[in-house]
Amino acid sequence: MAEPLQNTNYNPKGSQVISLEKGKIPPQAIDLEEAILGIALQDKYAIGQVVEIFRDEQVFYKAAHQEIYNAMLEMFEASEPVDLLSIIHKLKSRNTLEKIGGEFFLIQLTQKFSTSAHIEYHCRIVMQMHVKRQSIRVANEIIEQSYNDESDIFDLLSESQKQIDDVAQWLIRKKPSDFKTVVDSIFDASENNIAGVPSSLAKLQKKLNGYRETDLIILAARPGMGKTALMLNEVKHMAKQGNPVGIFSLEMSAKDLGRRMLAEECGIDSSKLTLNNLEDFERKLMNEKRAEFEKLPIFIHDQASLSPMELKVQAGKWKRENGIKMIFVDYLQLMSASGKNGTGNREQEISSISRSLKATAKDLEVPVMALSQMSRAVEQRGGFKRAILSDLRESGAIEQDADVIMFLLRPEYYKIYEWDDDDHTSCRGQAEISIAKFRGGETGQTIVGCDLQYMRFYDLEERDSFFEKLPNQDPNDAFEPVAVDADEDDLPF
């Protein structure tokens, strides 16, 4: 048996050492680290509990302890038994047995502890010490960069927020759910008639049963269709129902959004409100609505070129402080990918952004509706110029991540004044909402009223059917890709 080395706290190549600050020792729990390793060497089930919490992170403060855990993790992933003799053999093959203190050090670990009753609790404490050390590391890096005259302040803040967010992920990792808990939640929702956040349109509400938590909803259309107006109709309706909502507006200012919602609320021409060209009775009507209107629980963040990380940080704050029930983003293609995802390849950036929005919806457990632009291929198509999924800008990632994809069409915009049904019904002042993807049910189309002069979408009493297939429209024709020249698309995104 090898003699124990005097110094077992070696530093393998590539390990990060946190320097002492102000004479203080970094947060650590050496005794608990030893307890975890000692129990894992004796109890064959213990290593599974440890890996579930630590995964492949460099959690241990003592480098020798981390090396032992790395060997255990490698064996666990290979489905090899983890015990004293096997770990000795593994460390020998890695040429690190003598560096960690030899066989004697491992035997000492097994002799100190014998019960795995509290191993999960011990792991949580060690994890907390790791998070504290990581926080110190991030803070030190921020301090160093702040003293650097060449560092860009915006890059510094963006990277700092990202690193802090990465550290925070350690504390909010979601544990797996047992099936009984899942089933109980399903029955509770059914018995209590729990639905999602309500829509302002009866047909949409009936189809979706509200916008469900953790869902990513994409509302897509060409410019001029009324995407923002429909979004604001939903926002105001939800707020009036007592549901706080948050808006991230990358295109319009908070004041412009407020004007549009006020125009719809008061029935005033939105252009007159924008130009401040109001009649006396209109000003009086606005003053009467002001007290009620300003109390609506609506929160707006109108920063341009917002990154997904910045959105998640602000949305998390709204969730904690204001209990928001839904998030709106206007619009997706104006967001910017940060860090390693900002590669300059727009398709990869959009892919990263859509994944981040879906992750935000899941982490905060709120639905996220993101408005999206569409390519010019729609306008090059004949007939009613109905959209298909491939018309989405950088559509691949969006199609994959979204739970619901809705297309908005106003034929009147293209100077088409009759629907393509047998009766050639007038489509003036009307819009078609088409659900092209719906993870929770079937797709379909419906028709609603639309008056963009007053920024208003509403249900049509004479059209009481809910998402029936439009006459003369073959679903195979509606959703087959159409070849277009992508070079002719001159949209900025």
Please give the positions annotated as active site. 251
| Residue among 460, 454, 455, 407 at smallest CA distance from 432 | 407
What is the C-alpha to C-alpha distance for residues 180 and 265, in angstroms, rounded to an integer? Answer: 46
Strands 298-301 and 245-249: parallel
What is the C-alpha to C-alpha distance for residues 442 and 408, in angstroms, rounded to an integer? Answer: 17
What radius of gyration, in Å, describes the C-alpha atoms of the chain?
29
Percent of residues in the chain assigned helix, strand, coil, to nearest 5: 45, 10, 40
What are residue 368's phi and psi, to 5 degrees? -120, 120
What are residue 446's phi and psi, to 5 degrees? -150, 165
Whether the CB-CB separation of 214 and 361 falls below 8 Å is answered with yes
What is the C-alpha to C-alpha distance for residues 357 and 369, in angstroms, rounded to an integer? Answer: 9
Residue 389 CB neighbour total at 10 angstroms: 18
DSSP, collapsed to helix, strand or coil, labels residue 485 as coil
| Angle at the Cα of 303 from the Cα atoms of 394 and 306, rounded to 5 degrees | 35
> Which segments within 255-313 are labelled E, that is strand?
298-301
| Residue among 490, 402, 465, 486 at smallest CA distance from 438 | 402
Burial label for 137, CB within 10 Å (0-12, 13-18, 19+), is middle
| Residue among 73, 80, 77, 69 at smallest CA distance from 36 | 69
